[in-house]
Structure 1
Amino acid sequence: MEITALVAHLRQRCPSYGGRIAGGIDFDAVANSEQLHRPSAYVISTGDQATKNDVQNGVRQEITDQFDVIVVLDTRDERGQQAVDLLHGLRKELWRALVGWKPTDEYEFIEYGGGELIVINRARVIYRYSFVAEFQLGRNSKDEPAETWHELELDGLPPFTGADFDMDCIDPADPNLQRPGPDGRIEAKFSGDVTP
């Protein structure tokens, strides 16, 4: 999933962050490179999972993209009581912005995966909210662009225009060649043309 689109969407839909939302592939790298005023959020791609191929004559898999929105707050009290209240409101904002939204047409609706505390110290509270969205790898019809090597390879084949058949029947068989047949003799020939 493209993190840039998620960041832009969250900046538009989550006013409590004041635009202080950034993205990246690893939280430590993002947090150390871009010190945003708090409250702030970081969108981090955390991986994907795939089901096994579920068709015999092609490739079709369900892929689940996973990402986290990591919220960083100033610590106002060492117990974190005020942070919990603030996180509750910020989580609602994230839900309104993300849950049920489709980042692109190929994705299903984004779903909430859960949250957890990462760090609380005298300076800040860091909390992670996880989200997932599924999409299908492998196209549904030939007029869509190829998504896998198998589809690309099939697209490179010449169109099927017909077939020639040589039929060697099981019976009657020549007892001098092989019994029962087929005996290696072609008893009938025919062609079939296919028009698009």
Structure 2
Amino acid sequence: MKKGQWAAYDAVHDVRQLIWKALLGWEPDPQAHEIQYAGGMLLDLNRHELYYQFDFTAKYEITEEDTRQQDDLDALPDLKTLSIDVDFIEPGSGPDGNIEHHTEITFQD
């Protein structure tokens, strides 16, 4: 470590303290948990600059309403009929591709 670089480490400590006061315990989203400190690490250090990364986390539960899949499902029409085709498997030779049984189940509104 060269002369003067300890001052950079002191600055990291001071910045971390200010960031902690601003972020720790804050809940920026009503559906998320509070922000927590997850650590930090030195990324780079040279004669003029120190790069330090602070890591923070906030737990957030992703629900069906947050996904595109839910929008796609909501856009589908109601299920009215279920069609079932059965291809019996012959022992040893497997399915032959011929439908031996078909049934439909109709759902009431």
TM-score, scaled to structure 1: 0.35
Q: Among 66, 85, 90, which residue is 1:147 paired with?
A: 66
Change (3 A) 1:119 1:90: same
For the pair 1:82 / 2:7, whether they are aligned, the reply is yes
Aligned to 1:138: 63
Cα displacement (A) at 1:151: 2.4
Q: Among 120, 129, 132, which residue is 2:54 paired with?
A: 129
1:129 is paired with a residue whose SS is strand
Cα displacement (A) at 1:155: 6.2
For the pair 1:107 / 2:32, whether they are aligned, the reply is yes
Moved over 3 A (4+): 154-158
Matched to 1:89, the amino acid is D
Q: Percent identity?
A: 28
Q: Which runs of 5+ in 2 are unaligned?
A: 79-107
Q: CA separation in 2, counterparts of 1:123 and 1:150?
A: 50
Matched to 1:119, the amino acid is D
1:11-54 superposed Cα distances (whole Å, 9 cap, x missing partner): xxxxxxxxxxxxxxxxxxxxxxxxxxxxxxxxxxxxxxxxxxxx
Q: Among 87, 95, 98, which residue is 2:23 paired with?
A: 98
Q: Which runs of 5+ in 1 are unaligned?
A: 1-76, 140-145, 159-191
1:118 is paired with a residue whose SS is strand
How many pairs are equivalent? Answer: 78
Over the aligned positions, Cα root-mean-square deviation in angstroms equals 2.4
1:116 is paired with a residue whose SS is strand
Paired residues for 1:1-196 under 5 Å = 78=3, 80-139=5-64, 146-152=65-71, 153-154=73-74, 156-158=76-78
